[in-house]
């Protein structure tokens, strides 16, 4: 099984930036599409974006398109979420997840999840 650990969350002012990391252990994730999700208090978990196994394709929710960028470094077994122009409504716990079917361009079914990292954006 693959274990995922998110890091990089914290408190930032509106308009600021953060970069989240998701580091995998136990197995390489270099052949898995990966995704980022978030869950705000009292709300359902929502999709933020995903990246293909090769890193060649990315997909984003409309709410973050143009502000967030997903990338990956397969040599480091790590996926990143660069968040710019943050807004208070981006406040949430952010989770990364892996689609454990190899060589997917677009993740469809996530089999492993991290424990999440808190992002708080103050106005």
pLDDT tens digit sequence for 15-54: 999 999 999 999 999 999 999 999 999 999 999 999 999 9
Query: Which ranges in 35-111 belong to alpha helices (H)?
Result: none
C-alpha 98: how far from its chain's center?
A: 10
How many beta carbons lie within 10 A of that of residue 36, not counting itself? 26
Can you give the pLDDT at residue 26? 94
Is residue 102 within 8 Å of 43, Cβ to Cβ?
Answer: no
- For the chain, give the mean pLDDT: 97
Any idea which residue has 């790590």 for tokens? 78
């Amino acid at each position: 099984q693959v274990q995922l650990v998110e890091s990089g969350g914290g408190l930032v002012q509106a308009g600021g930036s953060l970069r989240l990391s998701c580091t995998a252990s136990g197995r390489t994730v270099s052949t898995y599409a990966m995704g980022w999700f978030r869950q705000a208090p009292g709300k359902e978990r929502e999709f933020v974006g995903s990246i293909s196994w090769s890193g060649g394709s990315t997909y984003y929710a409309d709410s973050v398109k143009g502000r967030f960028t997903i990338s990956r470094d397969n040599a480091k077994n790590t996926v990143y979420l660069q968040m710019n122009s943050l807004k208070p409504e981006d406040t949430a716990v952010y989770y990364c997840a892996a689609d454990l079917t190899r060589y997917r361009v677009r993740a469809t079914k996530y089999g492993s999840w991290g424990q999440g990292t808190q992002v708080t954006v103050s106005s």
